[in-house]
Amino acid sequence: SAVISQKPSRDICQRGTSLTIQCQVDSQVTMMFWYRQQPGQSLTLIATANQGSEATYESGFVIDKFPISRPNLTFSTLTVSNMSPEDSSIYLCSVAGSEEKLFFGSGTQLSVL
Amino acid sequence: QKEVEQDPGPLSVPEGAIVSLNCTYSNSAFQYFMWYRQYSRKGPELLMYTYSSGNKEDGRFTAQVDKSSKYISLFIRDSQPSDSATYLCAMSAGATNKLIFGTGTLLAVQP
């Protein structure tokens, strides 16, 4: 499985500001995924990031709120824009392995005051 | 109705106990079944993987899939305090890499 490094590991932000989360993979991967994990809820897919094309967003998530970059096959960023307390969550990047398996980074714990 | 249902717990057991964790699902197209373990402040770690029905064993862990009942289980034998974590079930119909996750069961193994 790939080694996935994610940073920051945690942050406390003021409402109205933006935070960019970085995800670095130790091997080239075609697709990277961004998930949100809220307390008591299942992991929710935000978007799929392919290198060289626009990210594909899931229902309920929009590019203006969660812009994603994918400049190469080993790196991606997710920005949480114009944050509100409702954005407080764990954000996870992941990559696909064989046979539908997903491998995750260590996550970013975001608290918005 | 959620596609995947999982009892959130918390589940507290003494060290050495056998633990049974379960998920039910509604989509009969699911073919790939996984269990993830997530320690506090860490990302989910793939623990067990099963394709279609049947059992899979890895050390103290056994995963079972019963597609006729739409029910999957994870058994932990001789549980250890280091097994204390949240366990997430996940499943997919394939071809899309869109895993559907349960909400997770918080397990505490008391020494």
Most B CBs within 10 A among A102, A103, A109, hence the mutation to make, goes to A102
pLDDT value, residue A99 = 78
Query: Are B32 and A107 within 8 A, CB to CB?
Result: no
In this prediction, residue A16 has a pLDDT band, given cuts at 50, 70 and 90, of very high
Quick one: closest CA in B to A40, which residue? B103
CA-based radius of gyration for chain B: 13
Residue by residue, DSSP assigns chain B as: --SEEE----EEEETT--EEEEEEE--TT--EEEEEEE-TTS--EEEEEEESSEEEEETTEEEEEETTTTEEEEEESS--GGG-EEEEEEEE-SSS---EE---EEEEEE-
Find, among B6, B1, B19, the residue nearest to B101 by Cα.
B6
Task: Assign A85 to helix, strand or coil.
Answer: helix
Q: Cα distance from A33 to chain B (closest Cα, Å)?
A: 10
- For residue A32, pLDDT over 80 is answered with yes
Residue B97's pLDDT is what?
58
Question: What residues of chain B, 59 to 98, have a C-beta less than 8 Å from chain A?
Answer: 88, 90, 92, 94, 97-98
| Token output for B24 | 């039910």
Q: Could A104 and B104 be called an inter-chain contact, meaning their C-beta atoms sit closer than 8 Å? A: no
Lowest mean pLDDT among A38-47, A97-106, B31-40, B82-91: A97-106
What confidence score (pLDDT) does residue B107 get? 97
Task: Report percent pLDDT > 70 for chain B.
Answer: 98
Kindly identify which residue of chain A lies nearest to residue B94, measuring between CA atoms.
A100
Query: For B61-78, what is each residue's pLDDT tens digit?
Result: 999 999 999 999 999 999
pLDDT exceeds cutoff 80 at B96: no
* Residue B2 pLDDT level (bands cut at 50, 70, 90): confident
| Beta carbons of A106 and B98 less than 8 Å apart | no
Pairing verdict, β A108-112 and B61-66:
unpaired
Question: How close is the nearest chain A Cα to the Cα of B94, in Å?
Answer: 6
Whether A3 shows a pLDDT value over 70: the answer reads: yes
